[in-house]
A and B are shown apart, each in its own frame.
Chain A
Amino acid sequence: MDFKLTKQQKLTRNIARDFARHELEPFAQEWDEKMEFPREAIAKMRSLGFMGICIPQEYGGCGLDTVCYVLTIEELAKACASTAIIVGVHNSMGAYPIYLLGTDAQKKKYLSGLAAGKKLGAFALTEPNAGSDPVSMETTAEQQGKSYILNGTKTFITNGGTSDIVIVMAYTDRSKRGKGITAFIVEKKFKGFTAGPKENKLGIRASDTCELIFENCPVPATNVLGPFGGGLNAALEALNLGRVGVAAQALGVARRAMEACVTYSRERKQFGRPIADFQAIQWAIADMATEIEAARGLIFKAATLKDQGASFATEGAMAKLYASEVAMRTATKAVQIHGGYGCMKDYAVERCFRDAKVIEIYEGTSEIQRLIIARDVMR
């Protein structure tokens, strides 16, 4: 067993770290405050290859492995968790399903644009009445000649308003329940497709989360993604990768919170000495560092399994569960260490705290991850 990063992985991490430090970190607080989508930063990232990290070069991507992907997301998230999820969702939930399941024609038409970042991708499964239980979704797709007519509403969709291409799950045969859901590639410009206003969220505020409404929206039959009735499987497959990315995002947030504590505790003096001298602080930071390292191990394991072509659904769920809860614990403790200052918007730990809570919920709540893990362990 070798815990060393490859040359590619190191270089990828360094590129992401350098970019995030200069182009995201100085602006992240303002974007959060104003709920501002980081349009300029995303445009720069597009030209550097951040929008097609794992997509092969023949489709306009970078052809890098999943470990490179998680390293990138971690570094971006450490500077700005919102930007990390914009890039993460685009890569893992927008572009990846088309790479995995798309026909040659679909790849030609959609994947190249997504991988080059000319188009922004999104993924629409969740509905107002179907969150952890996707089978209770209400969106339908009825065949009409060579098209399917979509009707329904998707909710809490990351990149919802800004995306150009959305992978949408809809019932083509409700009687078949999970096996009656089909995935569609839907272009934002299709008639009858509108996005609602940007949601005003607790955390991850710069990312554009909104409702998507389909009112008699015709989608060509050629835009069915993957096997007919295989939409739920496609969604679960994409979510497996999405979760590893979100785990890496959590890791970035946790690292940011911990590093802020290291700096702050050395500078903050109480009772005549830096609070870093007190064991109460040292032990808290030691626990943070240990949990962060453990989370990193789970994330690298899941990503490596994927790169080896092995099943990684359970490990991905473990990584997401653990890393997001570590981010929450670390951020909570970080706010406590910062005391009153930790409650102020001028301090990054305040944002980490709000971001971490969101990360525990989206891309499958902690409870859903536990369900996935238990099903595998207890089968």
Chain B
Amino acid sequence: MKGLRIIVTVKQVPDTADVKIDPKTNSLMREGIPSILNPEDKNAVEAALCLKQQHGGTIIAITMGPPQAEEVLGEVLAMGADQGVLLTDRAFAGSDTLITAFTLSRAIMKLGKYDLILCGRQAIDGDTAQVGPQLAGFLELPQVTYAEHISIEKGNAVVRRGLEDSTEWVRVKLPTLVTVTAAVNAPRYPMLYNVEAACDGSRIIIWGAQELKVPETMLGLNASPTGVKKIFEPERKKKGQIITGDPKDMTGILIDKLQELNML
């Protein structure tokens, strides 16, 4: 194999876990909040960089969003990716996860052959974890989610999946799509050395609906089947109880409490 061609999907998100919700529009209020590269997408980029270090190849980062989403591509290029693709068009606005995945799939088809698509598990603004799997669906690729470790062996990806109560090892033939969690690695910092080259415009392609040759009826808000009925901030859970005393007393209190709650 002559090096890997890896595509990484990335998203620009607000820099906070504490985003306020506009009750009138049912949307996230992003004004005045700085934007960052979604943390688990950063893990996906790092995973791609590590695989490139081992096997050689090319890394293409792709994002969809308003024109300023180009900023996260700059960051990914400064981390060491080779090329960025920005999908931006008014026609894309309001896309739900399905139409986002569809639009990304059309752009990826246009990019040509690839060995591996890496995605962050989920974005910190929506937390849906849907785009990766849906993208695999549109591209008719096998998918492996929740990756905590990835290696490439003889044309296969060997992935360790971190599940809630178990660990699963999966061997899958390339090309495939893998979504990664934060446990997969510790992402490197982008380098100031790379800033000049990342920003000279030569390494970022910008595509709209026209370039993707997709009719506008299949894009954006109107094509999206998801309607947001209501969005709300979850109520804060009740405060926990702290048990004090010597270990023997504390154990007794704990057992009583658990029995009271029918948990024992």
A31 — which chain B residues lie within 8 A by C-beta?
A: none
Q: How far is the CB of A129 from chain B (nearest CB, A)?
A: 39
Given A7-B74, A14-B75, A15-B78: A48 in contact with B199 (beta carbons within 8 A): no
Q: How far is the CB of A307 from chain B (nearest CB, A)?
A: 14
Q: How far is the CB of A186 from chain B (nearest CB, A)?
A: 28
Whether A8 contacts B193 by the Cβ 8 Å rule is no
Whether B195 contacts A12 by the Cβ 8 Å rule is yes
Cβ of A308 within 8 Å of any chain B Cβ, yes or no, is no
Cβ of B198 within 8 Å of any chain A Cβ, yes or no, is yes
Given A7-B199, A8-B199: A50 in contact with B71 (beta carbons within 8 A): no
Cβ of B142 within 8 Å of any chain A Cβ, yes or no, is no
- Identify the closest chain B residue to A50 (Cβ): B192
Interface of A is mostly: helix
Q: How far is the CB of B195 from chain A (nearest CB, A)?
A: 5
Within 8 A of A (CB), among B179-231: 189-196, 198-199
Complex Cα distance, B191 from A82, in Å, reads 21
Given A7-B70, A11-B75, A15-B78: A48 in contact with B193 (beta carbons within 8 A): yes
B189 — which chain A residues lie within 8 A by C-beta?
A: 15, 18-19, 44, 48
Complex Cα distance, B70 from A6, in Å, reads 12
Whether A8 contacts B195 by the Cβ 8 Å rule is yes
Whether B193 contacts A6 by the Cβ 8 Å rule is no
Whether B193 contacts A62 by the Cβ 8 Å rule is yes
Q: How far is the CB of B186 from chain A (nearest CB, A)?
A: 10
Within 8 A of B (CB), among A7-66: 7-8, 10-12, 14-16, 18-19, 44, 47-50, 53, 57, 62-64
B78 — which chain A residues lie within 8 A by C-beta?
A: 11, 15
A50 — which chain B residues lie within 8 A by C-beta?
A: 192
Q: Interface extent on A, as a size class?
A: 20 to 34
Whether B195 contacts A15 by the Cβ 8 Å rule is yes
Cβ of A68 within 8 Å of any chain B Cβ, yes or no, is yes
- Name the contact of A68 in the complex, choosing from B36, B71, B195 (C-beta under 8 A): B195
- Identify the closest chain A residue to B42 (Cβ): A18
Q: How far is the CB of A161 from chain B (nearest CB, A)?
A: 26
Whether B192 contacts A12 by the Cβ 8 Å rule is yes
- Identify the closest chain A residue to B201 (Cβ): A7
Q: How far is the CB of B101 from chain A (nearest CB, A)?
A: 27
B75 — which chain A residues lie within 8 A by C-beta?
A: 11, 14-15
A72 — which chain B residues lie within 8 A by C-beta?
A: 192
Whether A11 contacts B198 by the Cβ 8 Å rule is yes
A6 — which chain B residues lie within 8 A by C-beta?
A: 199
In the complex, 13 of the A-B residue pairs with CB atoms within 8 angstroms, ordered by the A residue number, are: A6-B199, A7-B199, A11-B195, A11-B198, A12-B195, A18-B36, A19-B189, A44-B189, A48-B189, A49-B193, A62-B192, A64-B195, A68-B195
Given A10-B71, A11-B190, A12-B195, 4 further pairs, Cβ under 8 A: A12-B192, A15-B192, A57-B196, A68-B195
Interface residues of B (CB under 8 A from A): 36, 70-71, 74-75, 78, 189-196, 198-199
Interface residues of A (CB under 8 A from B): 6-8, 10-12, 14-16, 18-19, 44, 47-50, 53, 57, 62-64, 68, 72
| Closest 4 A/B residue pairs (Cβ) | A49-B192, A49-B193, A7-B199, A8-B199
